[in-house]
Structure formats: C-alpha cells, structure tokens
Structure 1
C-alpha cells in the first residue's frame, strides 16, 4: 500500500529555536506526541512528549527558556512518499520507532505516519507484529 494512503497529511514542524512551551502547546492542541524539528530548511530531529517529560520536567528546566533543539531527540528517521507502508513498517521495526515523518521528492515534509495510521491501513497481523516490535522494553 502507498504511504500517501495511510499517512496523516499536512504535518506541522517547529524550528529549532522554538521554546519548548510552544511545542508542548502545539502537541496539546493537535493531540499528538511528537513534532519534527527543522533548521536551515532541513529536518534535524523530533521533539516528543517523552523528551519534554524527561529532559524538561524531570530535570527542572524552564520550558519558556529552553529551545526544542536543546532537548529534542537528535537525528531524523523518515520515509518517502514513493515507498510503501510495508517499507515503513520494516524501517519502524528496525529502528524501534513509533512514527515517521513523510517527505516528498522535493524533500519537503508532507505528512506523518504513526502506529495508529498503520493499524488502520494494513491487516491486524502485520500491525500487531509492528506494535510488538516497537513496544519491547529497552535494554
């Protein structure tokens, strides 16, 4: 199945210098757990609700004065619109991640593909295998 048929279109992203409090408000408003981070017209990482909980709240940092670049998960794993959902599942399984930004042939962010999207797009056996793989406890 084509990724475009399963992904959420029109994904938002934040710039690296965005205060964490603003990213958290975006997550709350859109009911999402991660936002891609961009700098100099490139995706450089993801800010997740887990990043905020562990690197801001638990560390006692000020979310108004801390930028997303300071606490984001560095690096970005993504898929392309010309790939299949099965390709994305393999990548998510391999990297043990729950969501992927989707970029087009111009390297522009056009959507997000998460576990829920996959669960609705493929058979239960395949989505169950992915869920089991990415939900394993970390060593």
Structure 2
C-alpha cells in the first residue's frame, strides 16, 4: 500500500507569523492536533497543540504576542505520497512522531499521515506496534 492511499488529503498549513491563538482556533475548528508551517513555498516546521502549551504558554508571561515561529518544531520530517506505507511507518517509529506531512513529486504538501490514518489502513497488530513505538518515552 502507498502512503497516498492511507493519508488524509488536503492538509492545512500556516505561515511563521501566524499568531498561536489563530493556530489554536484552527486546530479546534478542524479537530486536528498539528499544523505544518510553510514559508516561501517550503515546509519549515510543525506546530502541535503540545508546542503551544509547552513552548508557548508555559514559557511566556504574555502568549498574545507569540507566533508559529516562536513555538514550532524545526527540521520537519516528511514522507512522499508514492512511498510504501511501511517505510513511512518505520520513519514515524524511528523519529517517534504521530503525524507526518506528505509531499508529492513536486515537493508540494498533499496531505498528512497520522496514527489514526494508519489504524484504518493496516492490520491491527502492525498499527499497535507503531502506536507503542511512537508513544514510548523519548530518551
């Protein structure tokens, strides 16, 4: 199975200067836990709901001035829509990430691959292995 067959198509993204309050509202409205950050037509980071809390609210006395750039995780990890789903699963396990942006052959983001997508696409045993590996405490 290819990543494109399991991924959620049409993912949203935000720019680095997007206020975290707007990001949180978008996450709530779309019922998602992360948003990729793009600049000059390139993915430059990822903002998760946890980033907003831990890097934003917990580290700042005034979160109203914070933007995606202040809280995002840099060095984004992604996969290709045409790669085998099993390869993407190994990448998620290795990097311990729950959501993976998906790009096409033109390096355009075309979707997101999440643990939920995986649970619907692969055997329960494999899905459980991925969840265990991704959820393990970071070293």
The interval holding the TM-score normalised by the smaller chain is over 0.9
Q: Deviations over 1:23-72 (max 9, x none)?
A: 11110000111000011111011000000111122123434311101110
User: In the aligned structure 2, how far is the partner of 1:117 from the partner of 1:28?
Assistant: 19
What is the aligned partner in structure 2 of residue 46 from structure 1?
46
Q: TM-score, normalised by structure 1?
A: 0.96
Q: CA 1:101–1:61 in structure 2 vs 1: closer, same or farther (change >3 Å)?
A: farther
Unaligned runs of 5+ in 2: none
**SS where residue 59 of structure 1 aligns?**
coil
RMSD: 1.0
**Matches for 1:14-53 after TM superposition, within 5 Å:** 14-53=14-53
- In structure 1, runs of 5+ residues without a counterpart are none
SS of residue paired to 1:91: helix
Runs of 4+ in 1 over 6 A off after TM superposition: none
Aligned length: 139
